[in-house]
């Protein structure tokens, strides 16, 4: 069964750091580009970051550039999101997603995890 399971969320204070993990199963993880997408409570979806198969290419949304770092460990079928200098506006459910089909410039996503909640609050 193809599945993505996120973990690592929890309440944090503004300015703090947190690392999220997403473990993949049911498919050959090392063959797929992976992404993080977040959803603020009651709001829509916002793409956050993506990482290539070999981790040599990474893309970030402007809202997190310089604060968040995406990485992966193909031996563990896991993708990570290191989040530093967290802000109240980073409060969201963070989903990892597998890159599905693309335009040659950008992707859509064919498998998503249920997400992990990160509330940033003082």
Partner 1 sequence: DIQMTQSPSTLSASVGDRVTITCRASQSINDWLAWYQQKPGKAPNLLIYAASTLHSGVPSRFSGSGSETEFTLTISSLQPDDLATYYCQQYNRYPVTFGQGTRLEIK
CA distances from 94 to 19, 56, 104, 105, 108 (A): 11, 23, 25, 23, 17
According to CB under 8 A, which one of 34, 90, 109, 118 is a site residue for partner 1? Answer: 109
Binding flag, residue 67, partner 1 (CB under 8 A):
no
Q: Which is nearer to partner 1, 45 or 55 (CB)?
A: 45
- Using rule CB under 8 A, residue 100 touches partner 1: yes
Contact 64, 4 (CB under 8 A): no
From 17-25, 68-76, 77-85, 110-118, span contacting partner 1 (CB under 8 A): 110-118
Asked if 36 is part of the footprint of partner 1 (rule: CB under 8 A), the reply reads: no
- Say whether 29 sits in a helix, a strand or coil: helix
| Cβ at position 42, least distance to partner 1 in Å | 10
Binding span for partner 1 by CB under 8 A among 14-22, 69-77, 83-91, 100-108: 100-108
Per DSSP (E only), the strands in the chain are 3-7, 18-25, 34-39, 45-51, 58-60, 68-73, 78-83, 92-102, 107-112, 116-118
Q: Rule CB under 8 A: which residues touch partner 1?
A: 4, 43-47, 59, 61-62, 95, 100-103, 105-110, 112-115
């Amino acid at each position: 069964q193809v599945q993505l399971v996120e973990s690592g969320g929890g309440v944090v204070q503004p300015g703090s750091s947190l690392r999220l993990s997403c473990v993949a199963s049911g498919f050959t993880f090392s063959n797929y580009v992976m992404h993080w997408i977040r959803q603020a409570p009651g709001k829509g979806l916002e793409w956050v970051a993506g990482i290539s198969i070999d981790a040599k290419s990474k893309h970030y949304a402007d809202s997190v550039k310089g604060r968040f770092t995406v990485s992966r460990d193909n031996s563990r079928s896991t993708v990570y999101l290191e989040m530093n200098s967290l802000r109240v506006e980073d409060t969201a459910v963070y989903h990892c997603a597998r890159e599905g089909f693309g335009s040659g410039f950008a992707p859509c996503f064919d498998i998503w995890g249920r997400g992990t909640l990160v509330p940033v609050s003082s």
